[in-house]
Structure 1
Amino acid sequence: MYAWLNVGSLVLGLIAWILPIVNLMGMTKHWTAFSIMSLSACTISLVFQIYYNYHLVQIEDWAALMDTMGAVAGAATILLVVTLVLNAITLIVYRGRTVK
């Protein structure tokens, strides 16, 4: 069951990147909602990773923690930075536009 946290984290991370790209391609008029959903997906993705690491601590799987923490920290950083950059670009492109 806890392995699904990793799958969910990956799927939500991809959603966090896809939504601003959809915004930038002009496929939606509700760019603010898509940006909020993107940032929310990124946040939930990172929370899933925290819960998975908490599970590893509970079962005392120290080897798994030591083996994976570097990659998890790097992937979380990349996810957060890319999501923020994509949403910042969306904000710059759509600044001043309103939904009518």
Structure 2
Amino acid sequence: MIALLNLSCLFLGLISWLIPIIIIIMKKISNKKRYISIFISMSICLLSIYLQSLYIKYLININDWTALMDIIGTSIVLEFIMILVNIILNCTILILLNKYEEK
């Protein structure tokens, strides 16, 4: 069960990236749907980070300090990358949204 936390964290992180990519590819989507997709993408990204925090809490509860020391550095870097890419993709949607509104 606990192993599913890491897998679901990765899966949700990828979904949070795929939503903006699909919206960028599909240019003829209404503004309301674009804003909703940005909200959903950010929410899924936050859920992914929350699941990673639950896994870290689990390692602390079972006193597995070596596993915690092994994953914490990588976890921080990967969470930062996930957030940064998500922000860039969602800002791209907003920029394209304004670009298409001007036409």
Residue pair 1:22, 1:28 contacting (<8 A) in 2 also:
no
Could you tell me the TM-score, scaled by structure 1's length? Answer: 0.91
Which residue of structure 1 lines up, in the alignment, with residue 96 of structure 2?
93
1:46 to 42, 45, 49: 49
Query: C-alpha distance in 1, partners of 2:28/2:2?
Result: 35
Q: Which amino acid aligns with 1:65?
A: L
State the number of aligned residues.
98
* Residue 36 (structure 1) shift: 0.9
Whether 1:55 aligns to 2:62 is no
The structure with more helix, counted as a fraction of residues? 2
Could you tell me the TM-score, scaled by structure 2's length? Answer: 0.89
Runs of 4+ in 1 over 3 A off after TM superposition: none
Query: C-alpha distance in 2, partners of 1:66/1:60?
Result: 11
SS of match in other structure, 1:95: helix
| Residues 35-79 of structure 1 deviation map (CA, whole Å, 9 limit, x = unaligned) | 111101100000000000000000000000001111100100000
Which residue of structure 2 lines up, in the alignment, with residue 11 of structure 1?
11
Q: Indicate how the Cα distance of structure 1 residues 69 and 39 shifts in structure 2: closer, same or farther if over 3 A, else same.
A: same
Q: Provide structure 1 residue ranges, at least 5 long, that are not aligned to the other structure.
A: none
Q: Provide structure 2 residue ranges, at least 5 long, that are not aligned to the other structure.
A: none
